[in-house]
Structure 1
Amino acid sequence: MNIIFDFLSFLLNNLFLFTKDFGIAIVILTILVRLLLMPLSLKQKINMVKQQKISVKINELKEKYKSNPKKLESELQEFYKENSKTYLGCLVSFMQLPIIFTLYNVVLKIPMEVSTVIVPWVSNLKAVDKFYIIPVLYTISVMLPNFLPAAQYMKAYKTEKTSKLATIINSLVGSTVSLFITIKAPVALGLYFITSSIFSLVEELIFRVYIKSKPIAN
């Protein structure tokens, strides 16, 4: 973990030397790290789609052999064996966490009190945003993905159903948590959160468009 921290700190400092702005450096560093992790993230999303299809297939087998328990057990064992790689593939998401948390700590430990052109109303990246613009922007960026399934073309899975109530509840919960996290957080972390959240939204949009054009096989 120390190696990752030292590398990201080194990268952030060099980005600052290049941009002369720690705010811009944080944004660029966050994007670079998320791009690096993107293959793992996409693999996780693909496995989620496969898991959806697996769940549907399992339910079909249970319905087909509901009167023949032995045959059902045999079919399920064979099915689990064939799809074991998909279950293991979902573990790739955990590989991202150490790097994400390390990036969080790197941003948190910026060595000096500086401002940024990105947030001109704040004079210190280590200070909180007294105008609450950063928390509001982060809240909006977190809420947006909840509304993707509402658009027919953006539905990634056949089993994905749009519920207005569920969308509203998820949005309210997400917005409340987001506000709670960023309202007292340094602006530097707010920039990190917003950049990462927007990247996740764009990544999700790209993924949904991709699987609509090239359906994922079981």
Structure 2
Amino acid sequence: MTVIFNFLNGFLSNINLLTGDWGISIIVLTAIVKIAMVPLSINQKKSSAQQKAMAEKMDELKKKYEGEKENLQDEMAKLSMEGAGSLLGIFASLVQIPVMYTLYRVFSSMPAEIGSAIVPWVASIRLNDPYYIVPILSAGVQLLPGIAASIGLLKNSGRPKMSPAAMIVPAAVSILFLAKAPVTIGIYWITSGFLGFLEQLIFSLVEKKSENTAGGLAN
């Protein structure tokens, strides 16, 4: 963790030499890290979708072989072998956790006591937002995936449709947390959340296009 921290901290300083703005530097570094981890994230999304499909197939098998214990066990074993590979994507995605946590630590410990052009109403990005604009924006970003899933934009993302209450709770928690957190963390949360949403949206659109192409070829 220390090695990752030192690397990201040094990288942030080098980016700031180019941008001259710590707020923009946070956005750039977060984007670079998120893009670098896209392959792992895509694997995780594919694995989640496969696990969901497997659960549906298992339910179908239970209904089909109800009362036929041996046949059910054989079919379940075959299905489990097919889905074994999908677990690798989920395990691989765990690599993202220490990286993103370390990135959080880097932004939490930034020594810069200056403002940023992207949050001109805040005197220092080490302080919390006195007008709660950053926490509210973060809450809005938190709501995007749930809203998109509810209207069917995130099909095959592995994210289930959420009730309004289930969407509002994380957003409210985000506001409460960021209300007293440094603006550096708010910028990080907004950037990371928005890029994550774009990634989910693009993945869903690509999967939908692949399905339509496969359906057209089948016909």
AA partner of residue 200 (structure 2): E
Counterpart pick for 1:196 among 168, 192, 196:
192
Match of 1:131 in 2: 131
Distance 2:70 2:157 in 1: 30
Percent same amino acid at aligned positions? 34
Q: Distance between the aligned counterparts of 2:67 and 2:38, measured in 1?
A: 45
Q: Deviations over 1:144-169 (max 9, x none)?
A: 111112324x151499875xxx4311
TM-score when normalising by structure 1: 0.92
Contact 1:147–1:167 (CA<8 Å) still a contact in 2? no
Contact 2:154 2:201 in 1 (8 A): no
Change in CA separation of 1:87 and 1:26 when aligned onto 2, cut-off 3 Å: same
Give yes or no for contact 1:148–1:155 (8 Å, CA) kept in 2: yes
Distance 1:65 1:47, change over 3 A: same
Q: Does 1:113 align with 2:120?
A: no
Q: Is the 8 A contact 2:15 2:25 kept in 1?
A: yes
Decide whether aligned partners of structure 1 residues 2 and 161 sit closer, same or farther in structure 2, where only a CA change above 3 A counts: closer
Aligned partners of 2:159 and 2:3: how far apart in 1? 41
Q: CA deviation at 1:88?
A: 3.0
> Which stretches of structure 1, 4 residues or longer, exceed 4 Å deviation after superposition?
158-162
1:87, distance to aligned residue in structure 2 (A): 2.2
Do structure 1's residue 58 and structure 2's residue 54 form an aligned pair?
A: no
Distance 1:201 1:53 in 2: 22
| Compared CA separation, residues 60 and 158, structure 1 to 2 (3 A) | farther
TM-fit CA distance, 1:93: 2.2
Mapped to 2, the partners of 1:76 and 1:47 lie a distance apart of 18
Kept after mapping to 1: 8 A contact 2:46/2:86? no
Mind listing any 5+ residue stretches in structure 1 that lack a counterpart? none
Over 3 Å counting, the alpha-carbon distance change for 1:155 and 1:25 in structure 2 is closer
Distance 1:101 1:161, change over 3 A: closer
Deviations along 1:113-148, whole A, 9 cap, x unmatched? 111000000010110100000000000010111111
Gaps of 5+ in 2: 215-219
Does 2:183 align with 1:187? Answer: yes
Aligned CA distance change for structure 1 residues 22 and 158 (closer, same or farther; 3 Å): closer
Counterpart in the other structure of 2:155 = 156
CA-to-aligned-CA distance 1:160-206 (integer Å, 9 cap, x gap): 875xxx43112211111111221110001110011001101111110
What SS does the corresponding residue of 1:215 show, helix, strand or coil? Answer: helix
Contact 2:45/2:157 (CA < 8 Å) preserved in 1?
Answer: no
Could you tell me the TM-score, scaled by structure 2's length? Answer: 0.91
Separation (CA, whole Å) in 2 of partners of 1:60 and 1:85: 21
Q: Give the aligned length.
A: 213
In 2: Cα distance, 1:81 partner to 1:176 partner: 41
Are the aligned partners of 2:31 and 2:192 in contact in 1 as well (CA < 8 Å)? yes
Residue 10 of structure 2 corresponds to residue 14 of structure 1: no
CA distance in 1, matches of 2:89, 2:160: 25
Residues 122 and 129 of structure 2 are in contact (CA less than 8 Å); yes or no, is this contact kept in structure 1? yes
Matches of 2:88 and 2:24, distance apart in 1:
37
What does residue range 27-42 of structure 1 map to in structure 2 within 5 Å?
Answer: 27-42=27-42
CA distance in 1, matches of 2:4, 2:145: 29
Q: Displacement of 1:89 after TM fit?
A: 2.3
Distance 1:158 1:174, change over 3 A: closer
Whether the aligned pair in 2 keeps the contact of 1:134 and 1:187 (CA below 8 Å) is yes
